[in-house]
Amino acid sequence: MKIASWNVNSLNVRLPHLTQWLADARPDIVALQETKLEDAKFPVDQLAAAGYRAVYSGQKTYNGVAILAREQVRDGFSDIVTDIPGLDDPQRRILAASIGGLRVVDLYVVNGKALGDEKYAYKLDWLAKVREFLARELERHPNLVVLGDFNICPDDRDVYDPVAWGEDILCSPPERAGLKAITDLGLHDSFRLFEPGAQHYSWWDYRQAAFRRNMGLRIDLILIGEALKSAATAAAIDREPRRWERPSDHTPVTLELDI
């Protein structure tokens, strides 16, 4: 079973990239972020033609999350959740579904803009409430996968220039503590089960030829519960779509599970 996460930065623009990548990489389950599409405009038919079913929770212009599953994945989507209990939030940033024997939670974590900004306070509160949600999910579903655009660099290995970034947005101690509170539930950053080194990134700024110079951040993560840890056989970041014409600024991250 191959699982992936990709912030496509507009599914309207990136549908050709997505269908090409689905054909190339053949993932079984894919979590998307920043679809930026109302549900009525989600490309259900085009993805069905590519061999994938979908659930989605979107809005106009901003945010938007979706989970795709190959038709061959057993069972359909069930037990779908689109809102964090206890958080009245119009922003479409979370989508949970059971599929193929897994519980999948797709997150598009708040960016936060800058320390001290009201969006930063929203980010920390959102993370805390997601943690409470995930704690309950983990009780009910040991086979939990939490993946998406976390908008937090777990540690300095995940930052191209940790001195320049310092404790600024995406790297601040409160953000990292918010992420650690989630991983401390018993969720493993699957990439780090296989690769301890630095300079592996999932996002590069569009400006300053950042991709060519590998000036990036690793902020797209696939977390897995303890019960799935021994089933993990490989994790990777697929930089290929970042080289294509008119790319997303994020590239897909993947995990292989022997289940």
Binding region for DNA (CB under 7 A): 7, 9-10, 12-13, 34, 36, 60-62, 110-111, 113-114, 119, 149, 151, 169-170, 203, 205-208, 217, 219, 246, 249-250
Query: What's the min distance (Å) between Cβ of 149 and DNA?
Result: 6
Report d(CA 108, CA 148) in Å as an integer. 6
Collect all residues with Cβ–Cβ distance below 8 Å to 158 and sequence separation of at least 6.
198, 200, 201, 217, 218, 219
Cβ closer to DNA: 146 or 153?
A: 153
Nearest distance from residue 9's CB to DNA, in Å? Answer: 5
Q: How far is the CB of 168 from DNA (least distance, A)?
A: 7
Q: How far is the CB of 25 from DNA (least distance, A)?
A: 21
At position 93, the amino acid (one-letter code) is R
Q: Which is nearer to DNA, 103 or 250 (CB)?
A: 250
CB of 209 to DNA, least distance (A): 8
Instruction: Answer for the pair 250, 11: CB distance below 8 angstroms, yes or no.
Output: no
Q: Which of 52, 56, 108, 201 is catalytic?
A: 108
> Quick one: 61 or 230, whose CB is closer to DNA?
61
The active-site residue, picked from 52, 56, 106, 149, is 149
CB 216 within 8 A of CB 153: no
Of the pair 33, 98, the CB lying nearest DNA is at 33
Query: Of 116, 147, 118, 117, which Cα lies nearest the Cα of 225?
Result: 147
Instruction: Examine the residue annotation and report whether 149 is marked as an active-site residue of this protein.
Output: yes
Check if 201 is active-site: no
H helix intervals, 11-88? 11-25, 44-49
State how far the Cα of 66 lies from the Cα of 58, in Å rounded to an integer.
8
* CA gap 83, 47 in Å, rounded: 24
The CA–CA distances, whole Å, from 105 to 177, 182, 183, 200 equal 20, 13, 14, 23
C-beta closer to DNA: residue 12 or 44: 12
Active site residues: 108, 149
